[in-house]
Structure 1
Amino acid sequence: MAESGRRRSLERAWEHWRGGSTPPDEVRPEILSSWQRSAEHLPESVDAAPLADEGETRSLFEESPLSAAVNRLEGALRSAAEDGDLVVAVTDPQTRILWTYGGRVMRNAAEDINFVAGGRWDEGSIGTNALNLALRNNRVSTVFAAEHYAPIVHDWVCWAAPVHDPVTGVQLGVLDLSTTWDRGHPIGAATAQALARLLETAVPATGHPGVTRHLDTGLHLRLLGAVEVHLDGVRLLLTRRQGEILAILSLHPEGLSLGELHAHLYGDERVSTSTLKSEVSHLRSALGGRLASRPYQLDLPVTSDVDSVRSAVRRADARAAVDAYGGDLVPGTGSPLLAETAEYLAVAVRECLLVDPDPLAVLAYSEVVPDAEVVQRALDALGDEPHPARAELSARLAAALR
C-alpha cells in the first residue's frame, strides 16, 4: 500500500475506533493497546505536549550520562536532522525530552506542539507515540501518521530506539527521529537504532549520580537470543566462552566436576583441561570469587530467562513463555549441552503455542521464529472472529511460506 493510502486507511481506522467500534485489522496490536491506555487519561483532543519546568529539565540533562554523549556527538545528530529534514530528540527514562534539534522543515512544526526540551511525551501526557513505545517495549518503535493517538501528530512519522547504560543495561532514555509522514523513509527505524547505539558508545563508563542503577542482588543471565550477564545489577563484559561456562553451570546448580564441565563445554573438541581451568579462573575473578570448585558451582543466587521459559511451559502459559523466549540459547554455541538444551526449549515453546495459539503470543513468537504452522494454528483458532492481530498474522504467514 502506498504511504498516502496507508495514511488514509489509518485515519479511518482511528476515527472508527474513536466512534466506539472495533478498529480494522490493519491497526497493530501494540498500537491498539496504547490507544486504549491513552484514552483512560486523555481527552479526544490534545493541543500540545505539556511542558516541564525549563530549569528542572536543564538540570536533569546536565546530570544525565546522556548529556556527555550528546555533547560528543552533537555534530552528527545535527547533520542527521538537517540532511533528512528531521527533528532529533533525546529523552530521559520518563519520556521527557532533554535535548532536541530540528532541521529547517521540522523546527517550527516541533515547537508548535512542544516537541522541545521539557516536552513530556509519555503516554499519559500525549498518548500513543514512538518514544513512549520504545521505552515501554525496550526496542525500536515506529509510529506512522494516525497510529498516534493525538491528532496533532497525525501528519508525523516517528522512529525511536531506547538508549541503555553500557555498563548496567539500564534504560537512560530514547533517541527519536521524526518528520512528516510524506518524508518517511524505509530505513528510518534502522537509522534511529544506529544513532541510539552510537550514543551508548559515548556514554561515560562511570555514569552520573543521577542515574538509577539496578538494585538486584545475585546473578542474572540473559541467554536466549543473546548473552548478557548482570552481577548485583551491574553488567559484566565477559568473553563468549565465559558466557557459555556460566550458562552450563546455571543448568547444573548442584555443581560439576572438571571432567563433566569439560565434556559439556567442548564435547569432542581437543582442548586441554588447563585451558578450561584458566577460563574458569578468569570467570571467578569477574564474579568476585563466587564460583566454587570441587565441584565447580555458582556460589550465589542465579536467575535466568531459561528458568522463566521452563516455568511458563510447565504451567502451560504460552504468553509468558514467549515473553521470556528471545531465541536460540547462546546463539552459535559449540557446546553439546547448550545445543541440546536449545533444541528442547525451542520445541517446548512451539508445542506450548500449538496447544494454546494465543494470537498476540504467536505474533510475538513469529518475530523471533518464522513458523508457518504456528501462525496458521492461531489464524485457525480465530475463525471468523475479528481480531487486531489478524492482518499481521496473515502477513507473517505469507512471509514464512515464502
Structure 2
Amino acid sequence: MSQLPAASHQRAELEKAWERWTTSSPGRPASAEVALRGEVAESWERSLRTVDPTRAVAPGTDRDELGSRWAESPLRTPITEMAGELRALAEDSGMIAVVTDEAGTVLFSCGDRSVRRRAESVNLAPGGCWDEPYMGTSGIALSLHSGRPSQVWAAEHLVEALHGWVCYCAPIRAADGRQLGVLDLSTYWDRSHPLILTTVRALVTAIESRVHVEQQRPAGNTRLESLGVPRLYQQGRQVPMRPRQLEILTLLALEPDGFTPERLHDAVYGDRSVSSSTLKSDVSRLRAATDGRIADRRYMLTEPLACDAVELLAALGAGDLTTAVRLYRGPLLPDSDVPGIVQWREHLDVCLRTAVLADPNPEHALRFGQRCPDDIEIHEHALRLLPHGDSRRALATARLHTALHA
C-alpha cells in the first residue's frame, strides 16, 4: 500500500501547480495537475477572471454597512449565545472561528490572539469580503459556492498571502434550506487535522438548531415561561395570572394540536369530581387574558405562543444540548399537581437528564447540576468529565458533598 506524501512535500507540489496556473494564460494548463483537487481547479478557473493572486488583503465593508448586516442577520442571536463556546474552542486549539453572511462578508470572529492578529493582516476579520469573486479560492468561497462543507489547505488558496493557512468551513442554513452564511475554523497549514471539519459540522448543527428555534418563535410579544418560576409576559411586561390559567396555557403550548374538552378535563382535574362548567369557566377566563387566542370547540391556541418548555423540546430534538440546558431554569411548573403538567414535567426532566448523562461536555453537567442540587449522579458525572487541575472540580465536589449529606 503506497504511503501518502508528507505534508511538506504535498505543499511543495501544490506550490508548483499554483505557479504554473498563475503564470500561464488564463484557463486550465494543458498538463493534468496530480496534486490539485477538481473542485479547487474549477474554483481557480472562476477566480482568475476577477482576482489577482498576488493581492495581500481582502476588500472590506464600511463600518455602518457591517453594523446593519450584523444587526439584521438571523445568525446574530445564535452566534452571540454561542460566542463563549466558540471562543474557548478556538483559543484552546490555536485557531480562529469566523462567521460570514450569505455573501461571504465576515460578521464575527474570535480565537487565539496571535492567530487572530495574522488573520487580521489579510482582513479575515469583521467586514472582510471573502466570496470567490473577491478573494478567490478559500474554504468560505467553496462552501458558499457548493453548499457543502469544505477544506482548503495551503497553496490550494488562490491568493498567495493565504498559502500559510488551512480553513475548514460549512454552510449554515435556515429551516427552509436557505444559506445564511458560513462557519470557518482556520489555523496555520501545519496544524491541519481531519477532525477539525467534523468539529465544524457539529458546531453548525448547534447553530442551525438555535436559528430554527428563533425562526419558530412567533412574531408577537407574548411569552410564557413555565420552567422554574412561571410567568407570562406581554409587550415585555409581566401579566398577573392565576396558577390554573398558567397550567392550562402551558398544556396548550406543549400540545399545539389541542385537546377535546374531555381530554383537557382529565389533564387538568384527573379523577377529581369537577363539573365541565368549571373547565369552561377556567378556559373562558384564560381566553380573556390572552386576547381570545383559544379556540372554542377544540381547546387549542389559535396562534403560536413563545414558550421556554416548547423551545427546550425543540432544542433536544435538534441535538442542541447547550440551548436545552440554558433554557432549563427548573422543573415545569414545580408547584403544580395537575396530572397533565406532572406527566410533561417528568417527560422533560427525563429527556434532558438522560441527554446530559450521555454527553461528554462537562459544562452541560455543571449547568444542569446547578438546577438539580440533589442529583448525585449528575454531580458525579461532572467530576468524571472534568480534568484534574480544572478549578470547576471544586464546585462539582461541593455540590456532590451537599447532595450526599442532604
Q: Are 1:134 and 2:156 counterparts? A: no
For structure 2, the residue ranges without an aligned partner over 5 or more in a row are 217-406
**Is residue 19 of structure 1 aligned with residue 10 of structure 2?**
no
| 8 A contact 2:131–2:144 mirrored in 1 | no
- Aligned to 2:75, which of 55, 63, 66? 66
Among 187, 194, 198, the residue aligned to 1:186: 194
Give the secondary structure class of the aligned counterpart of 1:100: strand
Equivalent in the alignment of 2:114: 105
CA distance in 1, matches of 2:214, 2:53: 44
Partner of 2:12: 8
The amino acid of 2:22's aligned partner reads R
Asked whether the 8 Å contact 2:96–2:112 carries over to 1, the reply is yes
- 2:155 is matched with 146
1:10–1:147 CA contact under 8 A, matched in 2: yes
Task: Give deviations 1:234-258, integer Å, cap 9, x for gaps.
Answer: xxxxxxxxxxxxxxxxxxxxxxxxx
Is the counterpart of residue 80 in structure 1 residue 84 in structure 2?
no
Cα deviation code 1:62-86 (max 9, x no counterpart): 1111000011111110011101111
* 2:207 counterpart (169, 176, 199): 199
Provide the rounded CA distance (Å) in 2 between the counterparts of 1:27 and 1:4. Answer: 15
Q: Could you tell me which of 38, 52, 58 is aligned with 2:47?
A: 38
Task: State percent identity of aligned pairs.
Answer: 40
Question: Which one of 169, 179, 187 corresponds to residue 160 of structure 1?
Answer: 169
Q: Answer with 19-28 or 92-101: which moved more.
A: 19-28
Work out which structure has the larger RCO, using CA pairs closer than 8 Å and 6 or more positions apart in sequence. 1
CA distance in 2, matches of 1:72, 1:106: 23
Secondary structure at the residue paired with 1:106?
A: helix
* Aligned counterpart in structure 1 of residue 124 of structure 2, from 101, 115, 120: 115
Q: CA RMSD in A?
A: 1.7
Pairwise CA distance, 1:168: 1.2
Q: Deviations over 1:345-391 (max 9, x none)?
A: xxxxxxxxxxxxxxxxxxxxxxxxxxxxxxxxxxxxxxxxxxxxxxx
How many Å separate the matches in 2 of 1:48 and 1:132? 15
Partner deviation per Cα, 1:233-282 (whole Å, 9 max, x = no partner): xxxxxxxxxxxxxxxxxxxxxxxxxxxxxxxxxxxxxxxxxxxxxxxxxx
Flag as ranges the 4+ runs of structure 1 deviating above 3 A: 204-208
CA contact (8 A) 1:14 1:23 kept: no
- Give ranges in structure 1 of 5+ residues lacking alignment: 209-402
- Tell me the TM-score normalised to structure 2 length: 0.50
Aligned AA (1:7):
R
Instruction: Supply the distance in 1 between the matched residues of 2:140 and 2:157 (Cα, whole angstroms).
Output: 11
Question: By how many angstroms is 1:206 displaced?
Answer: 4.7
CA contact (8 A) 1:99 1:117 kept: yes
Give the superposition deviation at 1:105: 2.9
AA aligned opposite 1:202 = R
Number of matched pairs: 208
Q: What is the rounded CA distance, in whole Å, between the counterparts of 1:8 and 1:129 in structure 2?
A: 18
SS of the counterpart of 1:65? Answer: coil
Alignment partners' CA distance in 2, 1:23 and 1:75: 45
Deviations along 1:177-222, one digit per CA (max 9) or x if unpaired, are: 00000111121111111111111112153539xxxxxxxxxxxxxx
1:23, distance to aligned residue in structure 2 (A) = 5.0
Between the aligned partners of 1:185 and 1:206, the Cα distance in structure 2 is 33
CA contact (8 A) 1:163 1:172 kept: yes
| Bigger Cα Rg | 2
Whether the aligned pair in 2 keeps the contact of 1:51 and 1:119 (CA below 8 Å) is yes
Letter paired with 2:95: L
Q: CA deviation at 1:28?
A: 0.7
In structure 2, what is the Cα distance between the partners aligned to 1:19 and 1:81?
36
2:114 corresponds to which letter in structure 1?
A: V
Query: In the aligned structure 2, how far is the partner of 1:134 from the partner of 1:174?
Result: 7
> Secondary structure of 1:88's partner?
strand
Counterpart for residue 220 of structure 1: none
Q: CA deviation at 1:30?
A: 0.6
CA–CA separation in structure 2 for the residues paired with 1:190 and 1:184: 13
Residues 69 and 204 in structure 1, CA contact (< 8 A), matched pair in contact too: no
Equivalent-residue separation in structure 2 for 1:34 and 1:201 (angstroms): 30
The answer on whether the counterparts of 1:13 and 1:23 sit within 8 Å (CA) in structure 2 is no
- TM-score, normalisation: structure 1: 0.50
Mapped contact 1:38–1:123 kept (Cα < 8 A): yes
The amino acid that maps onto 1:148 is H
1:248 paired residue number:
none
